[in-house]
Amino acid sequence: MLQQRIHGIDEQEHLPSMLAADARELAHQLQEHQKKIFSPTAQKTMRLFSPAEAAAFIGIGEGYLRQIASEGHGPQPLSNGRRMYAVEDIERIRRVLDEGSKAGKYLPHRRAGEKLQVISVMNFKGGSGKTTTAAHLSQYLALRGYRVLAIDLDPQASLSALFGHQPELDVGEAETLYGAIRYENPRPVADIVRSTYTTNLHLIPGNLELMEFEHETPKAMIGGSAETLFFARIGEVLTTIESFYDIVVIDCPPQLGFLTMSALCAATSVLITVHPQMLDVMSMSQFLSMTSELMAVVEKAGGRTSYDWMRYLVTRFEPNDGPQSQMTGFMRAIFGNRMLLNAMVKSTAISDAGVTKQTLYEVERSQFIRGTYDRAMESLSLVNAEIEEMIRKVWGRK
């Protein structure tokens, strides 16, 4: 009787087999769920923007936008006389305005002498909003007219999924950045870059094959077979396509490995996301210590360790939460101007959009309580605009 009651406990369970079986079943069910949300032939699209939103992205007043549109450069008005702007409309108007003004006033592409900006977004504790930050920053900069490349360096590939590329279904062998930085038979990185449904935004997707770089690098280091050291490989491949882009945003893996170190050495700037709670901040303390020690080793080997800027971004911030406000103040007292002035507030609008693998720029305002959506969008715009301003400052622009 006792033997029956403890059936399953006295029998050894083979962990690798169980995990493999669970992974297969979970992947299958997720694929079925994906098909229900998006049919196999469906493609993600960007929503239409209101005149106020379109004008803000272009950097002009709403009245001026109406004038430009009435001159035949905007979309046709709807039955109610209101115009709604597609991303393509915004880009077309931006180009029309740029032709009639000082070159570069409305098209913010890099100019002669302005270096490619590579922003590595990182943190090593789940729930910090790292991928959400990278996704919204990439889209915001593209909507502002910059030529942006988003790189999903996280094997979990959540950024790829947000941008409509399912890692299990749509990303094949050597179609991640690993294909370009692997030690044997690397592919040209230009062959791996994909367009997205957002004008000006390209993507290098991720999936589990990125872990191969973590496994192969120690062997290459021991065998001395690598012509380029691991920490220089991402930066090296980016030089081959840098003329096509103004800004690169890298969503780093959630661990301090060879991929992350290579992303740090390729970066010109670093953005560290942090959730303002004690356990998260304590975890970040350990991460900062480990990162500094490893970067010192990389620096001795010739890796780049100086940046245009490094900032901490408070994410999932709840302004009415006393302990969170205290922790944010605590960090500001320590880090000073290395903290972004604006924080990304916690919002059901962002989390609910993520359920259907969408960003806040993609979902319709009508899907949410107006105040909830507006607060999230205002917070998002302030954070991204602050980062954009630092990029422009590096380039020496007003």
Each residue's pLDDT tens digit, 21-36: 777 777 677 666 656 6
Identify whether residues 272 and 132 lie together within a single domain.
Answer: yes
pLDDT at position 126, please? 65
- pLDDT higher than threshold 90 for residue 271: yes
pLDDT number for residue 2: 47
69 in the same domain as 140: no
Mean pLDDT of 120-144: 88
Do 160 and 280 fall into the same domain? Answer: yes
- Please indicate, yes or no, whether residues 323 and 258 belong to a single structural domain of this protein: yes
In a domain, 40, yes or no: no
pLDDT of res. 103: 65
Does residue 226 sit within a domain? yes
- The predicted-structure confidence for 78-110, as pLDDT tens digits, reads as follows 888 889 999 999 999 999 998 877 667 889 999
Would you say residue 380 lies in a domain? Answer: yes
Kindly state whether residue 28 falls inside one of the protein's structural domains: no
Q: Report yes or no on 20 lying in a domain.
A: no
pLDDT for 6 equals 47
Same domain as 128, residue 71 = no
Residue 385 confidence (pLDDT) above 90: yes
**Which of 100, 132, 163 finishes a domain?**
100
Residues 121 and 95 in one domain: no
Q: What is the Cα–Cα distance from 249 to 134, expressed in whole angstroms? A: 7
Max avg pLDDT among 183-197, 285-299, 329-343: 183-197
Query: 149 in a domain, yes or no?
Result: yes
Do 268 and 346 lie in one domain? The reply is yes
Domain extent at residue 284? 117-395
Instruction: Tell me what pLDDT residue 56 has.
Output: 94
Cα 128 to Cα 119: distance, rounded to the nearest angstrom: 17
Q: How many domains does the chain divide into?
A: 2
Residues 128 and 203 in one domain: yes
Task: Let me know if residue 239 belongs to a domain.
Answer: yes
Q: In whole numbers, what is the pLDDT of the chain averaged over residues?
A: 85
Asked if residues 130 and 121 have their Cβ atoms less than 8 Å apart, the reply is yes
d(CA 364, CA 56): 17
Judge whether 183 lies within some domain. Answer: yes
Residue 75 sits in the same domain as residue 218:
no
Q: Please give the pLDDT value at position 178.
A: 95
The string of DSSP codes covering 110-126 is --TTPPPEEEEEE-SST
Q: Over 60: is that where the pLDDT of 217 sits?
A: yes
- In the structure, what pLDDT confidence band is assigned to residue 53 with cuts at 50, 70 and 90? very high
Structure pTM?
A: 0.87
Q: Where among 70, 100, 130 does a domain terminate?
A: 100
CA–CA distance, 81 with 66 (Å, rounded to integer): 12
Over range 196-217, report the average pLDDT: 93
